[in-house]
Each structure stands twice: as structure tokens, then as C-alpha cells.
């Protein structure tokens, strides 16, 4: 049978498109001898007709890059697009900061350190955005006034 007819039949059998079928150019005589669908099946079995592999992009490089980024590499100034606020939203930063401050307050309460102000009052101050970070909460509790800085809200 003709090559294009063999290609059509084999594409149907292999469940792929005609462009994804490979015919061995060295075995053209055997292709011409084939008459039925069963003959084409035998050619597929013998490896004269094969399904072409899809040319997919390798993920190896992407995996290596992801590993490096997980370690903290490849995140320098030149790689950044978008503002600091767009890369990590303001609210996310706020939540992280407040949770850390509350955790620090609880640790101080449980350790039995005498508090300068009632814990509830400090908790409310945390909620109100009075402290920049954990360090300032600890300074308030321990009474180091030079560390207590009011956070200016813009």
C-alpha cells in the first residue's frame, strides 16, 4: 500500500495524528507489501511504524531553579518585579508582626516577669499598632523607655 495510506491507518491504530507517525525509510518494501489493517498492526509490532514522541520541554532546569529559590537564592534586587508591598501585601506583614508580638507577650506573661502595665493593656496596644516589633514589646514590659517608639501611621 502507499505510504500515505499506511500512515492514515497506523495513525488510527496508534490513536495519534498522521504527523505523529514515523515510517522507517529503510523498510519501504515491507510497507508496499502490506495490504490490510492486520498487516499494518504487524508492522507496528515489528517497529517499522512507530509513534513519534512529543517534543516536550524538560522540567529539570525548572526544578533546579525552584530548589535554589527555596534556599533563598535568585531573589536579589535584579530579579524583583513589583513593589515591596505588592510582593508581600501590607496585611500579611501586619498579621505576621502582630502574631509575633502577641506570642512574645504570652511568653513574658508565662515566664513570670513583672509587667509595667497590665497584660490586657499591652495586648490592646499591640492591636492598636503601637509597637514596631517584638523588641519594642519586650522593652515596654522591662521598662526600657528609650526603646519604646510609637509607630507613625501614614
Least confident of 100-109, 115-124, 143-152: 143-152
Q: Within a domain: residue 122?
A: yes
Asked if residue 10 lies in contact with residue 49, where contact means CB atoms within 8 angstroms, the answer is yes
Distance CA 62, CA 92 (A): 28
| Cα 123 → chain centroid | 36
- Residue 22's domain comprises 3-51
pTM given for the model: 0.49
Q: Are residues 41 and 92 in the same domain?
A: no
Helix (H) or strand (E) holding 5: helix 3-14
CATH code at 44? 1.10.1650.10
Written as nine digits, the cell of 69 is 529559590
Q: Within a domain: residue 70?
A: no
Q: Are residues 90 and 142 in the same domain?
A: yes
Q: Within a domain: residue 78?
A: no
Helix axes 134-142, 90-111, angle to 10 degrees: 30
Asked if residue 33 lies in contact with residue 39, where contact means CB atoms within 8 angstroms, the answer is yes
Which residue's entry shows cell 510497507? Answer: 31
Distance CA 12, CA 116 (A): 83
Q: Are residues 142 and 92 in the same domain?
A: yes
Q: Are residues 46 and 93 in the same domain?
A: no
Give the chain's end-to-end CA distance (angstroms, integer).
81
Q: Within a domain: residue 19?
A: yes
Q: Within a domain: residue 80?
A: no
Quick one: what percent of the chain has pLDDT higher than 90?
72
Give residue-wise pLDDT tens across range 113-125: 888 889 999 999 9
Q: Indicate if the pLDDT at residue 147 is higher than 60.
A: no
| Cα 37 → chain centroid | 47
CATH code at 119? 1.10.1200.60
Distance CA 147, CA 130 (A): 12
- Smallest CA-to-CA distance from 48 within 62, 32, 36, 70 is with 32
- Per the structure, the count of domains in the chain is 2
Q: Within a domain: residue 92?
A: yes
Amino acid at each position: 500500500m502507499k505510504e500515505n495510506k499506511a500512515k492514515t491507518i497506523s495513525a488510527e491504530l496508534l490513536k495519534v495524528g498522521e504527523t505523529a507517525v514515523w515510517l522507517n525509510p529503510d523498510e519501504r518494501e515491507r510497507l508496499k507489501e502490506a495490504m490490510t489493517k492486520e498487516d499494518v498492526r504487524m508492522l507496528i509490532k515489528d517497529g517499522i511504524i512507530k509513534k513519534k514522541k512529543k517534543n516536550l520541554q524538560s522540567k529539570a532546569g525548572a526544578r533546579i531553579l525552584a530548589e535554589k529559590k527555596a534556599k533563598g537564592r535568585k531573589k536579589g534586587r535584579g530579579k524583583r518585579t513589583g513593589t515591596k508591598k505588592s510582593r508581600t501585601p501590607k496585611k500579611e506583614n501586619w498579621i505576621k508582626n502582630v502574631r509575633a508580638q502577641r506570642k512574645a507577650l504570652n511568653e513574658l506573661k508565662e515566664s513570670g516577669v513583672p509587667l509595667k502595665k497590665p497584660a490586657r493593656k499591652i495586648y490592646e496596644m499591640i492591636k492598636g499598632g503601637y509597637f514596631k516589633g517584638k523588641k519594642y514589646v519586650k522593652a515596654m514590659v522591662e521598662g526600657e523607655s528609650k526603646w519604646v517608639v510609637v509607630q507613625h501611621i501614614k
